[in-house]
A = this chain, B = another copy of it.
């Protein structure tokens, strides 16, 4: 059977039947994993929920682990993309502290969602049995965020806007001044501990104030 990618009347390519199935399996699997945990999930449940045969699931994903890695990669990458796509380039006429506060707030609202927090709990709980799952989350999540921050900070330092010796260390300080307190609370106290908009705004500003005291132009 040949899969045909038809052209949608609007001109955009409509996803093929195979792509739609792939997406349906991923969506169903995400729900099942978040609900039942990694060990508590099997390919039969995923097939039933996505209304395809188990063979079809295996045609798209060779194993439960491969499927889970794709889910972590996809969820965490989409979140990272959202943080970056919604923050414009910094303009010299702007206030850097305000710009960084907006960035921090954006990162907080994108990361502190029940689904991402559940995913993080799930992979942390499985580190000893399945170290690869958490490694994917680490690389695509905090590490990617800090690498991007370090690159931006290096540019800001070159432009004389920040005083930074080691951009990677400054990026780690920024990232955790912003993320650590609420992420730790939500990890341990559950999704009810996700702060409201006003509290997140204030938290972002307070973290940036500390960062600017250490790395701002003297």
A163 to chain B, nearest CB (A): 10
Cα A135 to Cα B124 with chains together (Å): 17
* A207 CB-CB contact with B under 8 Å: yes
* A13 CB-CB contact with B under 8 Å: no
* A25 CB-CB contact with B under 8 Å: no
A178 to chain B, nearest CB (A): 9
In the complex, what residue of chain B is closest to A202 when comparing beta carbons? Answer: B169
A103 to chain B, nearest CB (A): 18
Cα A152 to Cα B134 with chains together (Å): 36
Asked whether, in the complex, the Cβ of B210 is within 8 Å of the Cβ of A124, the reply is no
Of B142, B169, B184, which contacts A142 at CB under 8 A? B184
Asked whether, in the complex, the Cβ of A169 is within 8 Å of the Cβ of B206, the reply is yes
Q: Find chain B residues with CB under 8 A from A173 CB.
A: 177, 206-207, 210
Q: Which A169-196 residues sit within 8 Å CB-CB of chain B?
A: 169, 172-173, 176-177, 179-181, 184-185, 187-190
Q: Find chain B residues with CB under 8 A from A126 CB.
A: 125
Q: Find chain B residues with CB under 8 A from A190 CB.
A: 127-128, 131, 134
Asked whether, in the complex, the Cβ of B188 is within 8 Å of the Cβ of A180, the reply is no
Q: Return the CB mask of A107-144 against B: 1 if under 8 Å, else 0.
A: 00000000000100111111110010011011000100
* A155 CB-CB contact with B under 8 Å: no
* A residues adjacent to B (C-beta < 8 A): 37, 118, 121-128, 131, 134-135, 137-138, 142, 169, 172-173, 176-177, 179-181, 184-185, 187-190, 206-207, 209-211, 213-215
Q: A134-B188, A176-B176, A214-B214 are in contact. List 17 more A-B contacts (CB 8 A).
A: A124-B187, A124-B188, A125-B125, A125-B126, A127-B187, A128-B190, A134-B187, A135-B189, A137-B188, A138-B188, A142-B184, A176-B177, A176-B181, A177-B177, A180-B184, A210-B210, A210-B215
